[in-house]
Amino acid sequence: MGDAGLLLMVWATCSWGSLPAFLKGSASMGVNRMMKRASIKATLALTAMAISGFAFNTAIAAKPLKIYVLAGQSNMEGQAKIETFDYIGDDPATAPMLKDMRGPDGKPRVCERVWISYLTGSPDNGELGEGFGKLTAGYGSRGNPKQDGGKIGPEFTFGIHASKAYDGPILIIKTAWGGKSLNTDFRPPSAGPYEFNEAQLENLRKQGKDLAQAKADKAKETGRYYRLMVEHVRKVLADPKRVVPDFDAKAGYEIAGFVWFQGWNDMCDSGTYPDSNKPGGYAKYSEWMADFIRDIRKDLNAPRMPFVIGVIGVSGDKATGGLANIRPAMAAPAANPEFKGNVAAVETAPFWDYAMESLMGKKEEIDHRFEAAYLLDHDGVIEKPDASGPGWEPIGAPRPADRVWRFLSFDPQNKADQLPPAEKKRFRNVTLPAGLEQWYMPGFDDGKWSSGKAPIGKGVWKHRTIGNAVVKFKSDWGAGEFLLMRTTFSVDKLNYESYRLAVLARQGFDIYLNGHKIHTYVWWKDEPFYRPIDLEPRFVKYLKKGENVLAAYANVEYDPRTNEPHASIDLAIEGITKEGLANISSEEFIRKQMDKICTREEQQIIAGASNAGFHYLGSAKIMAQIGKACAAAMLEMEKK
């Protein structure tokens, strides 16, 4: 190497102050000259190295942003809770996938080179919105589009595995809304307008619907979510740096692929697909899916964009009827010669978890136990609370079971307020009979009303899961569709950490405390049990020491087979101390509740589920495998 080479190495790796003693102090002129020559060479060499290194780093940074678009309905949203991740690690076949999904700290991985923009939420309620950032868990179904929903869809593992094959930046643009069809909501422009068939028109006539209005409403709905999807993708592409701060405009971007995961609403739509119970009954789905692929490629200016279709796999290989018949229709475009090599169908049925499915009945029991304020026993009466430590306790005297309610039932006075018995969603505000305008206020004279204890009800409300047990009513509702009810109770202490309502109700209700409305519910409940409703501080402030007035407004429901009315309502306000909260949140308490229903091994499997069967059991294990499989199919097409 020579002296100059040796000195160059020393100079390049050490500061002068760190040079060995034999090169310091009384160094000879020869050494100094050699050092000078070496330093010039070293400077040139390091400059060359810096330029080379700069060029190398620029080459990495200059890789284009790869963009994948994901779209569909509720399973593309993703209903798998983060809490179900552990179950993935229980299976040796999927445990490696869990390692990819978690960081060294055990929390969901944050992908440093993958970003996401996620459009979801209702445009009708002003709730349409976007969440964006680095890809991690939490970009599944969201109550608020801008906030982490604690769930994942296919996007999480799709992004993780796509990044393994590409060392540049990746952006996922996801648009998903629950309950949306291909035939209407995502209908592509090439499919033309939605046309009602004669059977649908006849059904509308029987319902007394205005056909012209029904057609106009359908026209308004048709293709709406397709357009929202395209508009959002274009918005993101117009300014990628908004979502991807490190985006290099010179390197640009490429639309690398599209993943479609949908099907449930079309599968259920026997009106659009009248032969859905027969093989080939969903042929129109295949036709519209092909239109969708052509149109989205055109609208995104990506003529050969790889396209993955996630084929609905609910119920695994046990699927029958519509579920079994729609699968080949969904997969059909991948076999179309026009799309050879750039459209793939991913079967998701192989990821179905049969052991988990077999325990869904027990999971429902567990969910009821933890979601309920109180369950009803086999005799249809309230189950005694668990005695293992402090918990929720009724506020005020007398105790709820001993309170006397004053109540009055009535039918709507105005024709505009009346609904046919077939209408299931019945809760609404109607004009009250004269003199009842202030019925919920303290001091109102209810002396002429009926009186009795709750539950107040009529008809038969059966348990769906407890044999033939029915709710036991203590007071008869009366003949009317609507009920007004009031009671008083006395409070001597208000030192609780939290407060809640415990409500048993068949249909919707308004609840008032001391003349102030503190809750409204507008739907219905199929299974009878007392539901807990947290009371916010802004409502708790109406609770006072001394006498309190609790009031409710409710309505009946009608049996769809007989048109017979049935109803039930009971309610109370409860409180819990810090000690009680700690007790019911403890692992010991939770385990005792679960031990009442299933074995420890079953509990481990159940812990892997968080939602209904049509949402793939809300299992992160199932959803993660689907995302990974879609990424694998996409990458395979990219290779070709």
Mind giving me the DSSP string for 545-575?
Answer: SEEEEEEEEEE-EE-TTT--EEEEEEEEEEE
410 three-state secondary structure:
strand
CA of residue 368 relative to chain centroid, distance: 19
Please write the tens of the pLDDT for every residue from 72-125. 999 999 999 999 999 999 999 999 999 999 999 999 999 999 999 999 999 998
d(CA 97, CA 321): 33
DSSP assignment letter at 84: G
What mean pLDDT comes out for the span 256-283?
97
Residue closest to 418 by CA, chosen among 558, 570, 209, 562: 558
Instruction: Provide the pLDDT confidence category of residue 11 given band limits of 50, 70 and 90.
Output: very low
Q: Is the C-alpha dihedral spanning 599, 602, 604, 606 positive or negative?
A: negative
Separation between Cα atoms, residue 142 and residue 130, nearest integer Å: 10
The string over 587-619, giving b where at least 16 C-beta atoms fall within 10 Å of a residue's C-beta and e elsewhere, is eebeeeebeebbeeebbebbbbbbbeebbbbbb
- C-alpha–C-alpha distance, residues 381 and 402, integer Å: 14
Give the percent of the chain with pLDDT over 70: 90
Least confident of 84-98, 138-152, 518-532: 518-532
Structure tokens at 36: 């000078």
**Domains of the chain in sequence order:** 2-61 (no CATH), 65-188+223-355+613-639 (3.40.50.1110), 362-597 (2.60.120.260)
pLDDT digits (tens, 9 = 90+) for 346-402: 999 999 999 999 999 999 888 888 889 998 888 888 887 766 789 999 999 999 999
Looking at residue 381, what is its pLDDT?
86
Residue-wise pLDDT for 165-218, tens only, equals: 999 999 999 999 999 999 999 999 999 999 999 999 999 999 999 999 999 999
307-327 confidence digits (pLDDT tens): 999 999 999 999 999 999 999
Q: What is the pLDDT of residue 617?
A: 97
As a whole number of angstroms, the distance between CA 622 and CA 94 comes to 10
Q: What percent of the chain has pLDDT over 90?
A: 81
pLDDT confidence of residue 35: 36
Predicted structure pTM score: 0.76
pLDDT band per the 50, 70, 90 thresholds, residue 634: very high
What 3-state class would DSSP assign to 345? strand
**pLDDT: which is higher, 17 or 271:** 271
Q: How far apart are CA 315 and CA 317, in angstroms?
A: 6
- What is the model's pLDDT at position 482? 97
pLDDT at 379: 85
- Gap between the Cα atoms of 582 and 605, Å rounded: 26
Residue 56, pLDDT above cutoff 70: no
Which amino acid does the sequence have at 36? Answer: K
Rounded average pLDDT over 468-473: 86
**In the prediction, which pLDDT does 387 show?**
67
Q: What per-residue string of b and e applies to 197-216 under the rule 16 or more CB within 10 Å gives b? A: eeebeeebeeeeeeeeebbe
Average pLDDT, integer, range 225-243: 98
Q: Give the pLDDT band (50/70/90) at residue 61.
A: low
In this prediction, residue 614 has a pLDDT band, given cuts at 50, 70 and 90, of very high
> Mutual orientation of helices 155-164 and 620-639 as an angle, nearest 10°?
40
Per the document, the length of the chain is 640
pLDDT for the residue numbered 525: 84
So what's the pLDDT on residue 218?
97
Angle between helices 283-299 and 224-238 (to 10 degrees): 30
Residue 244 has pLDDT above 80, yes or no: yes
Q: How far apart are CA 154 and CA 78, in angstroms?
A: 7
Contact status, residue 368 vs residue 375, Cβ threshold 8 Å: yes
- Tell me what pLDDT residue 278 has: 95
The average pLDDT across 161-165 equals 98
Q: Which two tokens stand for residue 200?
A: 């649908």
Please answer whether residues 296 and 339 qualify as being in contact, where contact means their C-beta atoms are separated by less than 8 angstroms. no
* pLDDT band per the 50, 70, 90 thresholds, residue 526: confident
Q: What angle do CA 621, 624, 625 make, to 5 degrees?
A: 85
DSSP 8-state symbol, 63: S
pLDDT score for 462: 84
The DSSP code for 16 is G
Residue 204: what pLDDT?
A: 95
Sequence-separated (6 or more) residues with CB below 8 Å from residue 134: 110, 111, 112, 114, 115, 116
- Please provide the average confidence, as pLDDT, over all residues in the chain: 90
Quickly tell me which residue has 């290989």 as its tokens. 317
Cβ neighbours around 346 below 10 Å, total: 25
pLDDT at 142 over 70: yes
Give the pLDDT of residue 331. Answer: 98
Average the pLDDT over each of 76-85, 218-227, 590-599 and give the range with the smallest value. 590-599
Strand order in the sheet with 450-452: 450-452, 405-410, 482-491, 546-555, 509-513, 516-521
CA 47 to centroid of chain Cα atoms = 55
Tell me the two tokens of residue 628: 């990974």
Measured between alpha carbons, how far is 355 from 313 in angstroms, rounded to an integer? 16
Q: How far is CA 442 from each of CA 396, 398, 487, 488, 503, rounded to the nearest angstrom?
A: 17, 18, 10, 9, 21
> Across residues 575-595, what is the average pLDDT?
93
